[in-house]
Amino acid sequence: MNKSYVGQPFILYHGWRSSASRRVRLCLAEKGLSYESRLVNMLKGEQHSPEYLSINPNGVVPALLHGDRVLYESSAIAEYLDELFPEPSIRPRDAYDRLVMRNFVRWVDDYCLPRLIVFNWSQAMQAAATQWSDRELAERIARVPSASRKEAWTRVARKPYSDEEKADAMTGLLKLLEKMQAMLANDHSWIVGERLSIADLAAIPFVMRINELNPSAIANFPFVESWWNRVRQRPSFSEARICAFTATDAEVEAL
């Protein structure tokens, strides 16, 4: 790792409600790293603009500029930060535990995120997206680089998720609490290993949303509930501005 980058400034392109953006802000906060904040208005499609796609060709947030380096994919960003700024560490010491951590984060991204999108996009995007003309929708979709995101935008604009689909999505999200309950058993304070890791930081945005959408659910998972109380007490939680999903950008920035 090139240590000459340690003193280089950070610029974070992100959204306050984005789960991946929240993960990276939590990592930066745990490391005590400051950054310049540049909000990306996803409803306006700024993440699909030529300017942003030149930074992150995947057309999603976040993206982190570190000097002249461009970083994207939140789990990769987290490991990069831990390599370059090793204290305090946010990865387990043991090699096997690091593997378990990475597998957990991958599962959260692959399994939980599509189910969270059902709720987040319905709440944040649907009202405006349903008003787009067919031409406007087609123009927006043409700029989206990901096939899965093209489908998600089409769904939220023209075929909103049904109550049955939302119920299925919540059933899937609750599997996260089930998995965490098992991993936190036997008096484990953290999901993997003996200290907070990227696994915990990956889970926080999802547990936050589950708790907002289904407030009684977490009480059925006592180890998760204790973990949730611990992470909310950490300074990084408030520093990363993990706020209610309904909070406006202005309200979050005023904190």
Structural domain boundaries of the chain?
Answer: 3-84, 95-238
Mean pLDDT for each 10-residue chunk of the chain (255 residues)?
81 97 98 98 95 97 98 98 97 97 98 97 95 97 94 94 97 98 93 97 98 98 98 98 94 90
Residue corresponding to tokens 């036997």 = 186
Topology of domain 95-238 in CATH is Glutathione S-transferase Yfyf (Class Pi); Chain A, domain 2 (1.20.1050)
- CATH class as words, domain 3-84: alpha beta
Rounded to 5°, the CA angle 188-191-196 comes to: 90
Which pLDDT does position 2 carry in this prediction?
A: 61
C-beta neighbour count of 235 within 10 angstroms: 10
- Alpha-carbon dihedral 234, 237, 239, 241, rounded to 10 degrees: -160
Which pLDDT does position 234 carry in this prediction?
A: 98
Written as six digits, the tokens of 166 are: 């939302």
Q: Where are the alpha helices (DSSP H) in 32-94?
A: 50-53, 74-84
What CA–CA distance (Å, rounded) separates 129 from 155? Answer: 10
Torsion region of 58: left, alpha or beta (phi above 0 gives left; psi -120 to 50 gives alpha): alpha
| Topology match between the domains 3-84 and 95-238 | no
